[in-house]
């Protein structure tokens, strides 16, 4: 059946994505390619359309977090290099082989398990070996790598296609951790080469890394957030020229004349100080419009910033439009992104919510349809 959707949507500006890709490419050495991080549904922007757009601009290496995310891309016909950052869990080996997916190998156990299945099928699987150069999360520590290398070089079912690590503090430009991680990474790479393993791909840098720190040995950089217009850290505000890709918009469902003293929304945490005109939008915290915006969020309507009044509900939010001229039901309010030359960025949300723009974008709910603005 054909019917119009609830008028709340996230506009995805693919031209802005391409602009941000160029910024990432400009930040890398010319010898490096971009491995675009499109995990978590491309940070909430839609993995398939984002990947296709980046493909059209020449990107042919992509990283996701899970097997399921990789399969979504394969099923959409994307046959480029796909790296699964989260590794290969027990029982998933066959799927990696069938769909030609590359797992990161995070430990001895998964290396041996993948090798057994590859050998059993008379195949080889390309993998990226991940080392922990200081992130303190997953991957081989130096001593673990040293102990494992003799055995690793004998595993005929694996091709060590890539060697990688992840940076913990690259968003802080004065941190010594990154230089220590870079040094450690190169030491471990050398250990690998000494046993005759020479991975074709070497990669360390995320958005912050590629924008602030070089890596002359690297063949790839793995940006995520900067592709979507989010800053990798406060230090990058003046260094990067990024454009917002996601714009969250909703149309006014009701206009209400509220008399002075009336309470608005759950708990009556807002009481009208004077007679007011209040717009009700069909969007709420179930859509990713965080409840912490109660009484302090903002929208843009007709070039005016309008404040949220009362608590954000699961499906509704109220804003004061008393000072907006000619407001009417159906007018479009922008809660995230740009409108009329004004911007409420993912980083603005993040500062207000005490989080990072990564989480802001990922939390825009599934029930918010994504509308893709063509490249033009
Ligand atoms: C292993 C790995 N590489 C690259 C990235 C991309 O990082 P960013 O979004 O900061 O560019 C991530 C994101 O969390 C990651 O986990």
What six digits make up the tokens of 297?
């969020």
DSSP sequence for 19-87: HHHHHHHHHS-TTPEEEEE-HHHHHHT-HHHHHHHHHHTT--EEEESSHHHHHHHHHTT--SEEEETT-
Q: Residue 226's closest CA among 365, 58, 361?
A: 361
In the chain, % of residues over pLDDT 90? 90
Residue 204 alpha carbon to ligand 1 centre in Å: 10
Residue 27 has pLDDT above 90, yes or no: no
pLDDT band at 213 (very low <50, low <70, confident <90, very high): confident
Q: What is the mean pLDDT of the chain?
A: 96
Predicted local confidence at residue 198, as pLDDT: 95
Query: pLDDT per residue over 300-337, tens digit each?
Result: 999 999 999 999 999 999 999 999 999 999 999 999 99
Residue 37 alpha carbon to ligand 1 centre in Å: 7
- Let me know if 174 is exposed, middle or buried by CB neighbors in 10 A (0-12, 13-18, 19+): exposed
Q: How far apart are CA 32 and CA 98, in angstroms?
A: 29
Average pLDDT over residues 33-42: 97
Q: How far apart are CA 290 and CA 369, in angstroms?
A: 17
Instruction: Give the ligand 1 atom nearest the CA of 43.
Output: 9
Most informative mutation of 37, 167, 361 for ligand 1 (most atoms within 8 A of CB): 37
Instruction: Give the ligand 1 atom nearest the CA of 85.
Output: 1
Average pLDDT over residues 143-148: 96
Q: Which domains does the chain have, with CATH numbers?
A: 14-229 (3.20.20.10), 246-344 (2.40.37.10)
Ligand 1 pocket, residue 357 CB under 6 Å: no
Predicted local confidence at residue 305, as pLDDT: 97
Residue 212 has pLDDT above 80, yes or no: no
Predicted local confidence at residue 297, as pLDDT: 98
For 248, phi then psi, to 5°, come to -95, 120
Residue 247 alpha carbon to ligand 1 centre in Å: 22
pLDDT band at 174 (very low <50, low <70, confident <90, very high): confident
Residue 44 alpha carbon to ligand 1 centre in Å: 14
pLDDT band at 249 (very low <50, low <70, confident <90, very high): very high
Instruction: Give the ligand 1 atom nearest the CA of 358.
Output: 9
Ligand 1 pocket, residue 225 CB under 6 Å: yes
Predicted local confidence at residue 181, as pLDDT: 94
Predicted local confidence at residue 246, as pLDDT: 98
Residue 156 has pLDDT above 90, yes or no: yes
pLDDT band at 239 (very low <50, low <70, confident <90, very high): confident
Annotated catalytic residue 328: no
Mean pLDDT check: name the lowest of 58-62, 162-166, 233-237.
Answer: 233-237
Active-site position among 39, 126, 130, 358: 39
Query: Is-contact 35 64, C-beta < 8 A?
Result: no
Ligand 1 pocket, residue 207 CB under 6 Å: yes
Active-site position among 99, 130, 266, 372: 266
Annotated catalytic residue 266: yes
Ligand 1 pocket, residue 37 CB under 6 Å: yes
Predicted local confidence at residue 375, as pLDDT: 85
Query: pLDDT per residue over 4-14, tens digit each?
Result: 999 999 999 99
Q: Residue 170's closest CA among 232, 237, 224?
A: 232
Predicted local confidence at residue 215, as pLDDT: 84
């Amino acid at each position: 059946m054909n019917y119009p959707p609830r008028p709340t949507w996230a506009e995805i500006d693919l031209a802005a994505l391409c602009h941000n890709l160029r910024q990432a490419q400009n930040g890398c050495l010319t010898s490096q390619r971009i491995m675009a991080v499109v995990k978590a549904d491309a940070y909430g922007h839609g993995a398939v359309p984002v990947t296709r757009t980046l493909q059209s601009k020449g990107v042919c290496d992509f990283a996701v977090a899970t097997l399921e995310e990789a399969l979504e891309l394969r099923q959409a016909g994307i046959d480029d290099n796909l790296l699964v950052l989260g590794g290969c869990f027990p029982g998933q080996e066959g799927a990696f082989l069938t769909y030609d997916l590359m797992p990161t190998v995070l430990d001895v156990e998964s290396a041996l398990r993948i090798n057994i299945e590859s050998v059993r099928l008379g195949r080889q699987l390309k993998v990226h070996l991940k080392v922990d150069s200081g992130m303190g999360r997953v991957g081989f520590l130096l001593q673990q790598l040293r102990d494992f290398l003799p055995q690793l070089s004998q595993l005929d079912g694996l091709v060590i296609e890539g060697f990688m690590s992840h940076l913990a503090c690259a968003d802080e430009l004065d941190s010594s951790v990154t230089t220590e991680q870079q040094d450690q990474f190169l030491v471990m790479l050398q250990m690998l080469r000494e046993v005759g393993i020479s991975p074709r791909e070497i990669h360390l840098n995320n958005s912050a890394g590629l924008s602030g720190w070089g890596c002359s040995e690297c063949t790839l950089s793995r940006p995520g957030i900067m592709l979507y217009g989010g800053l990798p850290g406060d230090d990058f505000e003046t260094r990067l020229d990024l454009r917002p890709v996601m714009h969250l918009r909703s149309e006014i469902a009701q206009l209400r004349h509220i008399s002075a003293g009336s309470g608005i929304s759950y708990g009556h945490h807002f009481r009208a100080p004077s007679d007011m005109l209040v717009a009700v939008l069909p969007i709420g915290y179930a859509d990713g419009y965080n409840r912490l915006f109660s009484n302090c969020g903002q929208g843009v309507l007709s070039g005016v910033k309008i404040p949220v009044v009362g608590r954000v509900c699961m499906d509704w939010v109220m804003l004061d439009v008393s000072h907006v001229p000619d407001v009417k039901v159906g007018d479009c309010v922008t809660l995230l992104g740009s409108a009329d030359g004004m911007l409420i960025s993912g980083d603005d949300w993040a500062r207000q919510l005490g989080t990072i723009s990564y989480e802001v974008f990922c939390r825009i709910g599934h029930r918010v349809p994504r509308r893709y603005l063509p490249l033009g």
